[in-house]
């Protein structure tokens, strides 16, 4: 479970999986993620790879591409850093894991000070829509991010 937490961090910064390279735990422990600015206007959708550490990739609605790396800390939380093609960079950490849905949640901040929320796992939408998230901006942002994958 703690492994998914760290992977979730990476996933929040990764781009959507192609049809030939689906994001599953069997595919190098790939975990999808969604990250949203606190106002809900901007989102990142991506994936992470690896059990204890690895790369992450993400995209934004305007086509900005982000790359980074994540690692699991000694206490089981996840930490990630990322840099995007538009010059935005930042860091994030995951500290909560919801066992029933397999979803990790976390927070981040860009170097310019914008605050972010992240969700990682293979059932993020189920987690958010189950009432675990009450902030309407975040619910809408996650919905838009996941819709962009279709």
The CA-to-CA distance between both ends of the chain, in Å, stands at 28
Q: Per residue in 97-149, pLDDT tens?
A: 788 888 888 999 999 999 999 999 988 888 887 876 667 888 888 888 888 87
Q: What is the pLDDT of residue 28?
A: 84
Mean pLDDT, residues 41-58: 92
Task: Name the residue among 61, 67, 87, 77 with its Cα closest to residue 120.
Answer: 77
CA distance 63 to 37: 16
CA distance 54 to 1: 16
Q: What is the pLDDT of residue 17?
A: 38
Q: What is the pLDDT of residue 146?
A: 83
pTM: 0.77
Residue 70 near residue 7, CB atoms below 8 Å: yes
> How many other CB atoms sit within 10 Å of the CB of residue 42?
19
Mean pLDDT, residues 68-87: 91
Q: What are the Cα distances from residue 25, in Å, to 28, 32, 78, 102? A: 6, 10, 17, 12
Q: Per residue in 84-101, pLDDT tens?
A: 999 999 999 988 878 888
């Amino acid at each position: 479970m703690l492994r998914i937490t760290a992977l979730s961090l990476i996933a929040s910064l990764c781009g959507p999986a192609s049809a030939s390279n689906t994001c599953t735990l069997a595919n190098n422990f790939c975990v999808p993620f969604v990250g949203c600015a606190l106002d809900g206007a901007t989102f990142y959708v991506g994936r992470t790879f690896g059990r204890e550490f690895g790369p992450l990739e993400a995209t934004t609605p305007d086509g900005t591409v982000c790359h980074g790396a994540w690692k699991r800390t000694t206490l089981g939380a996840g930490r990630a850093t990322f840099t995007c093609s538009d010059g935005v960079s930042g860091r994030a950490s995951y500290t909560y894991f919801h066992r029933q849905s397999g979803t990790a949640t976390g927070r981040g901040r860009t170097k310019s000070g914008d605050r972010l929320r992240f969700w990682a796992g293979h059932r993020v939408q189920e987690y958010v829509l189950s009432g675990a998230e009450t902030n309407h901006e975040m619910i809408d942002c996650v919905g838009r991010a996941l819709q962009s994958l279709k």
